């Protein structure tokens, strides 16, 4: 099976971003081509590209699109343009820290490239100021591509770290989509499943539908089926029953932001699943790359939770599913307290038990 390439840069500085439009799955696999930053912002906001790592990659590439044709020939002015583009992209969605992590990385890259070019004399090296502006733009493009490639490598490492969990014949429950579609490729929560499948193991995955936008039934089921992995979709409300019927040996989910104490923000419904897993003595694991940890916040109460439009509940996928004018409450994420998390698989190995000290140790810069 070909690995899904969720998002990539095509061509040189004058190229474009190609991403799978996830709003069309599972009906159609279509590539959206973005040549300007507004297209990327809209794709993130409307979940054409979604999942914390993929959002970060999209934002990084969006910065390149925003400034590649900038007329400035003064590096400092270009840096101002870059900061503006980052501020704009940062408004697309609030919860996944990978977005802000990637934007900070792009800003650092630009400043680093500018500082390097400023040192030799004559001041801006060969080609003068214009030449150095182009070099900063090229450095940004390389950084965005590196963020993508590093994410793919981190996902493989998560798969290796979690492989031992996926024993022959077990049942695994996952929520939302933390697979190849949510990352550069391969996924986080789904990475150990792909690794176990590659190792020839057989197991069953229960994918919760994930109301209101159905990332579980539309995306997780689609990509696992495509990989020939045994997957069964359940409505969110069926999880307790499936657990009580002893069909699930472990739960594994992704994360949008993990606080310094191990509290985990992830797709709405994750917290409820963690409570259910505890009630049924089922281990509850999280899988996330180091770019999803936010050590600047002490605990999950400080994680900004995105509120989405009531229309996604009232008129899901084009049909009225609630009275037209009824009030709806629609947080897109919830926070699972660290004490409900058995362990966190990262590209740097397993963090278990989940303590502030263990996280600080594993996620050192």
Q: Would you tell me which residues interact with ligand MRU (CB under 6 A)? A: 47, 50-53, 96, 176, 178, 182-183, 188, 215, 254-256, 266-267, 332
Q: Of 68 and 218, which has the nearer Cβ to ligand MRU?
A: 218
Q: Of 34 and 96, which has the nearer Cβ to ligand MRU?
A: 96
Instruction: Tell me how far, at minimum, the Cβ of 176 lies from ligand MRU, in Å.
Output: 4
Q: Which residue is nearest to ligand MRU (CB)?
A: 254
Pairing relationship of beta strands 250-253 and 284-287 according to DSSP bridges:
parallel
**HEC sequence for the chain:** CCCCCCEEEECCCCCEEEEECCCCCCCCCCEEEECCHHHHHHHHHCCCCCCHHHHHHHHHHHHHHHHCCCCCCCHHHHHHHHHHHHHHHCCCCCCCHHHHHHHHHHHHHHHHHHHHHHCCCCCCCCCHHHHHHHHHHHHHHHHHHHHHHHHHHHHHHHHHHHHHHCCCCCEEEECCCCEHHHCCCCECCCHHHHHHHHCCCCCEEEEECCCCCCHHHHHHHHHHHHCCCEEEEECHHHHHHHHHCCCCCEEEECCCEEECCCCEEEECCHHHHHHHHHHCCCCEEEECCHHHEECCCCCHHHCCCCECCCHHHHCHHHCCCCCCCCCCCCECEEEECHHHCCEEEECCEEECCCCHHHHHHHCCC
d(CA 246, CA 192): 21
Instruction: Tell me how far, at minimum, the Cβ of 332 lies from ligand MRU, in Å.
Output: 5
Residues with catalytic function: 256
Instruction: Tell me how far, at minimum, the Cβ of 93 lies from ligand MRU, in Å.
Output: 7
Q: Of 22 and 342, which has the nearer Cβ to ligand MRU?
A: 22
Instruction: Tell me how far, at minimum, the Cβ of 18 lies from ligand MRU, in Å.
Output: 19
Instruction: Tell me how far, at minimum, the Cβ of 308 lies from ligand MRU, in Å.
Output: 8
Instruction: Tell me how far, at minimum, the Cβ of 230 lies from ligand MRU, in Å.
Output: 21
Instruction: Tell me how far, at minimum, the Cβ of 309 lies from ligand MRU, in Å.
Output: 13
CA 295 to each of CA 137, 167, 256, 262, 361: distance values in angstroms, whole numbers, following the listed order: 30, 33, 13, 9, 11
What phi and psi, each to the nearest 5 degrees, are found at residue 30? -130, 145
Q: Of 56 and 75, which has the nearer Cβ to ligand MRU?
A: 56
Q: Of 49 and 113, which has the nearer Cβ to ligand MRU?
A: 49
Bridge partners for 334 per DSSP: 266
Q: Of 82 and 286, which has the nearer Cβ to ligand MRU?
A: 286
Q: Of 85 and 178, which has the nearer Cβ to ligand MRU?
A: 178
* The two three-digit tokens of residue 191, written as one number: 């990475």
């Amino acid at each position: 099976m070909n690995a899904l390439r969720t998002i990539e840069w095509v061509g040189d500085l004058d190229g474009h971003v190609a991403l799978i439009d996830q709003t069309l799955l599972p009906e159609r696999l279509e590539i959206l081509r973005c040549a300007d930053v507004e297209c990327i912002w809209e794709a993130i906001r409307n979940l054409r590209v979604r999942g914390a790592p993929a959002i970060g990659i999209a934002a990084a590439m969006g910065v390149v699109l925003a400034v590649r044709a900038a007329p400035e020939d003064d590096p400092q002015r270009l840096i101002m343009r870059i900061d503006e583009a980052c501020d704009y992209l940062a408004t697309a969605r609030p919860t996944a820290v990978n977005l802000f992590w990637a934007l900070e990385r792009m800003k650092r890259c630009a400043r680093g490239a500018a500082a390097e070019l400023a040192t030799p004399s004559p001041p801006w090296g060969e080609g003068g100021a214009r030449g150095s502006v182009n070099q900063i733009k090229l450095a940004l493009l390389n950084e965005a591509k590196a963020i993508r490639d590093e994410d793919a490598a981190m996902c493989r490492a998560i798969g290796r770290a979690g492989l031992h969990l996926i024993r022959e014949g077990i049942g695994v429950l996952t929520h939302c989509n933390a697979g190849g579609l949510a990352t550069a490729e391969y996924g986080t929560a789904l990475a150990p499943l792909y690794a176990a499948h590659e190792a020839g193991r057989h197991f069953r995955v229960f994918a919760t539908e994930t109301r209101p936008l159905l990332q579980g039934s539309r995306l997780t089921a689609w990509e696992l089926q495509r990989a020939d992995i045994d997957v069964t979709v359940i409505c969110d409300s069926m999880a307790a029953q499936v657990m009580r019927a002893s069909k699930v040996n472990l739960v594994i989910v992704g994360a949008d932001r993990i606080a310094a104490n191990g509290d985990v923000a992830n797709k709405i419904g994750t917290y409820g699943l963690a409570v259910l897993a505890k009630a049924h003595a089922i281990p509850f694991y999280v899988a996330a790359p180091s770019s999803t940890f936010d050590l600047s916040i002490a605990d999950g109460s400080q994680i900004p939770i995105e509120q989405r439009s009531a229309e996604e509940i009232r008129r899901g996928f084009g049909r009225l599913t609630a009275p037209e004018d009824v009030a709806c409450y629609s947080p897109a994420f919830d926070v699972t307290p660290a004490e409900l998390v058995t362990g966190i698989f990262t590209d740097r190995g397993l963090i278990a038990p989940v303590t502030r000290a263990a996280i600080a140790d594993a996620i050192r810069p």
